[in-house]
Amino acid sequence: LLDPTGRPGVTIFEEITGLANDHRAINLGQGFPDSEGPEEIKKIAIDAIQNGANQYAPGSGTPSLREAIVAHQERFYSLNLDPESEVVVSTGATEAIAASLLAFLEPDDEVVTFEPYYDSYAAMIGLANAVHKVVQLKAPKFEPDMDDLRRAVTDKTRVIVVNNPHNPTGTVLDISVLQEIISLAHQHNCIIIADEVYEHLTFGIRHVPIASLPGGFERTITISSAGKSFSFTGWKVGWATGPRELITAVRTVKQFLTYSSGPAFQPAVAQALNLPDAFFERFAAGLGQQGEILASGLEQAGIPVIRPKGTYFLVADVRSFDLNDAAEVARKMPERVGVAAIPMSAFVHPENQQDYQGLLRFAFCKKREVIADAVEHLRLLPK
């Protein structure tokens, strides 16, 4: 958690957002939408505050939210969960990730994640003194090599983290990959932490939770978040679901991380989870169109892109520019052309930086006119 000079590091998101603010650049770095979630959902949170939802919520989450999470999983994935014992509400997906990893890791246990990986996995694996092994997703397809996957998971592996749809690549894993992960988890007696925060953000493909596949549920903690599905990232309401024994362990750790989370937001998120299918479909379709505006704009500006299957991120290849690598481009871009993006190298092990050196991640959860404006600026990037 220290930067190379030994100072406490800040996350790449904080660093790039800071540069974007300093230079008044369009921030396509940190993934947060510039449009808020539904007004009627906001009103529920406001009313809840007025009506006294201002003291600690139950540690596992309010009953109405736990029931709504269960109903949502049944509606979309035909999974049947017990709201009492198989659901825990967390302070964002981030806390559910932290509690899950801390609950199961002993020092020197191995954790396998795909690389590039969301930054909090590496930090939490480090805090648990565990060992972080990676299976690379290589451009342009960002699909894992099955032999690499089979080699990475061994009897030392305690946890396999599966982020699907995948931040930062925008890939959606094939069902055959998910099936292989389940089989490896059984073979080597490990658990799966499935970070599915982008479950509703897929383009023309239906999300398949790893827990819904044969043999998956019994070994999987599935994590999601209201931040992504409903554009309320600041509310930090997330949850973990899975079999009783696994969720009990997550809850046990969670009670000493935050104990409980935002009581006024929970009834609002419960109502959001009950929104009709059309809401989720419209949201994903709109995002897909925003992604396409960015992708075609970047291509027209001479920047090759890899189109995402899900999430609100896409990866562009800036290798031809006059700077040494994408990390340097990302740090100069806010000042030079007024747009911010995240270097992919921020999501990889130091020894693998060169494999991702030319790649930048752009967030497209922004209004169409903002994306169009960003594209105009990006035309100014030197080739």
Residues forming the site for ligand GLN (CB under 6 A): 11, 13, 30-31, 167
Tokens of 17: 């957002």
Q: Determine if 93 is a binding residue for ligand PMP (CB under 6 A).
A: yes
Count residues binding ligand PMP (CB under 6 A): 14
Tokens of 121: 């996995």
333: left (phi over 0), alpha (psi -120 to 50) or beta: alpha
Give residue number: closest CB to ligand GLN. 31
Residues of span 178-207 touching ligand PMP by CB under 6 A: 195, 197
* Residues making up the chain, counted from first to last: 383
Residues of span 126-155 touching ligand PMP by CB under 6 A: none
Q: Which does 11 bind (CB under 5 to 8 A by kind): ligand PMP, ligand GLN, none?
A: ligand GLN
Q: Can you tell me which of 33, 83, 216, 227 binds ligand PMP, judged by CB under 6 A?
A: 227
Helix axes 326-336, 12-22, angle to 10 degrees: 30
**Token pair 């396998």 in the structure block, residue:** 112
Q: Determine if 163 is a binding residue for ligand PMP (CB under 6 A).
A: yes
Asked if 209 and 199 count as a contact pair (C-beta separation under 8 A), the reply is: yes
Nearest approach, Cβ of 258 to ligand GLN (angstroms)? 16
Please identify, using beta-carbon distances, which residue of 15 and 109 lies nearer to ligand GLN.
Answer: 15
Please identify, using beta-carbon distances, which residue of 94 and 157 lies nearer to ligand GLN.
Answer: 94
Q: Which does 325 bind (CB under 5 to 8 A by kind): ligand GLN, ligand PMP, none?
A: none
Backbone angles phi, psi at 245, to 5 degrees: -65, -40
322, with CB counted inside 10 A (0-12, 13-18, 19+), is exposed
Please identify, using beta-carbon distances, which residue of 62 and 164 lies nearer to ligand GLN.
Answer: 164
Please identify, using beta-carbon distances, which residue of 153 and 162 lies nearer to ligand PMP.
Answer: 162
Say how far residue 324 (Cα) sits from the centre of its chain: 28
Nearest approach, Cβ of 333 to ligand GLN (angstroms)? 16
Please identify, using beta-carbon distances, which residue of 236 and 254 lies nearer to ligand PMP.
Answer: 236
Please identify, using beta-carbon distances, which residue of 265 and 313 lies nearer to ligand GLN.
Answer: 313
The upper half-sphere exposure of residue 178, i.e. CA atoms within 13 Å in the direction of its Cβ, equals 25
Q: Determine if 118 is a binding residue for ligand PMP (CB under 6 A).
A: yes
Q: Which does 238 bind (CB under 5 to 8 A by kind): ligand GLN, ligand PMP, none?
A: ligand PMP
Residues of span 11-50 touching ligand PMP by CB under 6 A: 31
Nearest approach, Cβ of 32 to ligand GLN (angstroms)? 7
Q: Which does 241 bind (CB under 5 to 8 A by kind): ligand GLN, ligand PMP, none?
A: none
Rounded-to-integer distance, Cα 369 and Cα 366, Å: 8
Rounded-to-integer distance, Cα 171 and Cα 16, Å: 23
Nearest approach, Cβ of 231 to ligand PMP (angstroms)? 12
Asked if 165 and 314 count as a contact pair (C-beta separation under 8 A), the reply is: no
Give residue number: closest CB to ligand PMP. 92
Provide DSSP, 155-214.
TTEEEEEEESSPTTT-----HHHHHHHHHHHHHTT-EEEEE-TTTT-BSSS----GGGST
Q: Determine if 233 is a binding residue for ligand PMP (CB under 6 A).
A: yes
CA triple 187-189-191, angle to 5 deg: 115
Nearest approach, Cβ of 50 to ligand PMP (angstroms)? 25
Q: Determine if 242 is a binding residue for ligand PMP (CB under 6 A).
A: no
Nearest approach, Cβ of 117 to ligand GLN (angstroms)? 11
135 contacts: CB under 8 Å, gap ≥ 6: 112, 113, 114, 115, 144, 145, 148, 149, 152
Is residue 362 within a helix (H) or strand (E), and if so which, with residue range?
strand 359-363
Residue numbers of the site for ligand PMP (CB under 6 A)? 31, 92-94, 118, 163, 167, 195, 197, 225, 227, 233, 236, 238
